Amino acid sequence: MYRIAIVGAGAAAALHARAIQELDNAMLCAVCDSLPEAAERFANTWSCAPYTSPDELIRQEKPDVAILSVPVFLHGEYAERFAASGVHVLCEKPIEMDAERALRLIRARDEGGVKMMIGHVVRFWPGYAEIRDMMDRGELGDILSAVFSRASQVPARGGWILDPERGRGAIQDMLIHDTDFLHYLFGNVASVYTLAAKDDTGCYDHVTANLRFENGTIATALASFTLKDNAYPFTTRYRICGTKATLEYSYRAAVLDIQAGPQAEWFICRKGGQPEPLKIPQRNAYAAQLSYFLDCIREDRAPVLGSLESARESIRILDMIRASAESGEIVREN
Ligand SMILES: NC(=O)c1ccc[n+]([C@@H]2O[C@H](COP(=O)([O-])OP(=O)(O)OC[C@H]3O[C@@H](n4cnc5c(N)ncnc54)[C@H](O)[C@@H]3O)[C@@H](O)[C@H]2O)c1
Residues 152 and 262 in one domain: yes
Ligand 1 atom nearest to 77, measured from its CA: 31
Residue 254 has pLDDT above 80, yes or no: no
Residues 114 and 163 in one domain: no
Residues 322 and 182 in one domain: yes
Residue 260 has pLDDT above 60, yes or no: no
Residues 106 and 142 in one domain: no
User: Which residues have C-beta atoms less than 6 Å from ligand 1?
Assistant: 8-13, 15, 32-35, 38, 69-72, 74, 92-93, 119, 121, 157-158, 173
Ligand 1 atom nearest to 176, measured from its CA: 43
Residues 116 and 127 in one domain: no
Per-residue pLDDT reduced to its tens digit, 206-246: 999 999 999 999 999 999 998 876 777 889 999 999 999 99
Specify burial of residue 239 (Cβ count, 10 A radius: 0-12, 13-18, 19+): middle
Quote the CA–CA distance of 127 and 237 in Å, as a whole number: 10
Q: Are the C-beta atoms of residues 75 and 96 closer than 8 Å to each other?
A: yes
pLDDT for res 95: 97
The pTM for the full model equals 0.94
Total of domains in the chain: 2
Residues 103 and 162 in one domain: no
Residues 219 and 328 in one domain: yes
Q: How far is the CA of 90 from the centre of ligand 1 (A)?
A: 13
Domain membership flag for residue 270: yes
| CATH number reported for the structural domain that contains residue 240 in this entry | 3.30.360.10
Domain membership flag for residue 326: yes
Residue 264 has pLDDT above 90, yes or no: no
With CA atoms as reference, report the closest residue to 321 among 176, 177, 185: 176
| CATH number reported for the structural domain that contains residue 75 in this entry | 3.40.50.720
Whether the upstream peptide bond of residue 94 has omega within 30° of 0, thus cis, is yes
Domain assignment of residue 115, given as a range: 2-120+286-303
What's 128's DSSP letter?
Answer: T
Residues 273 and 295 in one domain: no
Quote the CA–CA distance of 181 and 183 in Å, as a whole number: 5
Ligand 1 atom nearest to 11, measured from its CA: 16
Q: How far is the CA of 12 from the centre of ligand 1 (A)?
A: 6
Residues 132 and 69 in one domain: no
Residue 205 has pLDDT above 60, yes or no: yes
Residue 190: C-alpha distances to residues 19, 47, 214, 217, 320 (Å)? 36, 48, 5, 10, 10
With CA atoms as reference, report the closest residue to 128 among 256, 9, 250: 250
